[in-house]
């Protein structure tokens, strides 16, 4: 067996993840989850820095602790996945003899119906954002392309192909580029914003959406922008950036887009992820129709 401390093993694990081309965001998430687990164990065991001393009961105890902190099943499943991957890495590299996480059962995931904006709601959202060329273009891009938050934050000027009416998502989730057709109103919003961007801002990079000082917007700022207009539009349901992505998928299915095409546009690895939009279209848009009649 290769003798290493838990601390050394964790650093080696992160080095391996980088070598396997995992995204910085994924590596950060693993780091946060593993650090929390090891810190919890360190309060209960003096030999926590010896990876061979970890047992199934340590992991079960941590999962029970998280449940006591009212963490969701989804969060607990994610943290367990990080712990499993860490110990699997140690086992493969003969740092430990067996993976103590193999037989630990994950928490049940809560079934939540994702929120979707009705037509009048997303129209109100766009109306409220219309006083800002940048913010209007951001909201419009989310609604018309279904981009993830990180994908929009990383968009560059060259990712917009106005001639062919395409938006190119480079190195999105799963490391696979994809192209999304742009509708005319989205093209107009982007053109108006880019004209303002190129004439009014002090630009220091080629990122598409910028702050007033010319620096790129971080994901927290984009979340704040979207939340601000959701509140201004009087939308009372729980909504976020991801709601705009759900809205894109649901309305595309309602208009007859095939599952295969939507899967490609949204960058889903699994067809099952896309299939949920059929149910969402039936439930959410039926409710919208009833409210319109009333």
Q: Which residues are catalytic?
A: 148, 173, 242, 245, 268, 277
DSSP conformation class of 215: P
Give the closest residue to 229 by CA, choosing from 241, 220, 219, 218.
Answer: 241
**What is the Cα–Cα distance from 67 to 84, expressed in whole angstroms?**
18
| 264 vs 176: CA distance, rounded Å | 10
The phi and psi torsions of 127 (rounded to 5 degrees) equal: -60, -45
Residue 109: how many CB atoms within 10 A of its CB?
A: 12
Q: Measure the CA–CA gap between 139 and 284, rounded to whole angstroms.
A: 20
* Residue 246 region by backbone torsions, left for phi larger than 0, else alpha for psi between -120 and 50, else beta: alpha
Q: Which residues contact 57 (CB under 8 A, 6 or more apart)?
A: none
Q: Is the Cα torsion angle 173, 79, 217, 221 positive or negative in sign?
A: positive
Q: Which residues, in sequence order, are CB contacts of 241 under 8 Å at separation 6+?
A: 142, 149, 222, 223, 226
Q: Structure tokens of 32?
A: 């946060």
Cβ–Cβ < 8 Å for 176, 267: yes
CA nearest to 181, candidates 144, 139, 155:
144
């Amino acid at each position: 067996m290769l003798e290493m401390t838990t601390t050394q093993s964790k650093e080696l694990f992160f080095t391996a993840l980088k070598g396997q081309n995992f995204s910085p965001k994924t590596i950060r998430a693993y780091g946060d989850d593993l650090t929390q687990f090891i810190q919890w164990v360190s309060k209960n065991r003096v030999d926590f820095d010896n990876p061979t001393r970890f047992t199934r009961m340590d992991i079960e105890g941590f999962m029970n602790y998280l449940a006591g902190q009212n963490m969701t099943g989804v969060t607990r499943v994610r943290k367990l996945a990080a712990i499993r991957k860490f110990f699997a890495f140690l086992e493969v590299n003969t740092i430990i003899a067996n993976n103590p996480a193999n037989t630990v059962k994950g928490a049940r995931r809560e079934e939540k119906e994702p929120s979707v904006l009705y037509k009048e709601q997303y129209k109100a959202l766009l109306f409220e954002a219309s006083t800002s060329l940048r913010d209007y273009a951001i909201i419009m891009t989310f609604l018309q392309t279904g981009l993830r938050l990180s994908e929009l934050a990383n968009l560059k000027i060259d990712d917009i192909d106005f001639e062919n009416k395409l938006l190119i998502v480079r190195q999105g989730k799963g490391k696979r580029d994809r192209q999304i057709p742009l509708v005319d109103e989205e093209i107009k919003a982007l053109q108006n914003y880019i004209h303002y961007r190129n004439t009014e801002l002090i630009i220091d990079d080629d990122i598409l959406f910028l702050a007033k000082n010319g620096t790129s917007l971080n994901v927290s700022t984009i979340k704040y922008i979207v939340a601000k207009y959701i509140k201004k539009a009087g939308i009372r349901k729980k909504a976020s950036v991801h709601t705009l992505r759900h809205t894109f998928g649901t309305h595309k299915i309602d208009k007859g887009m095939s599952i295969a095409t939507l899967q490609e546009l949204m960058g889903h690895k699994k067809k099952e992820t896309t299939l949920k939009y059929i149910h969402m279209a039936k439930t959410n848009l039926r409710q919208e129709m009833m409210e319109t009649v009333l």
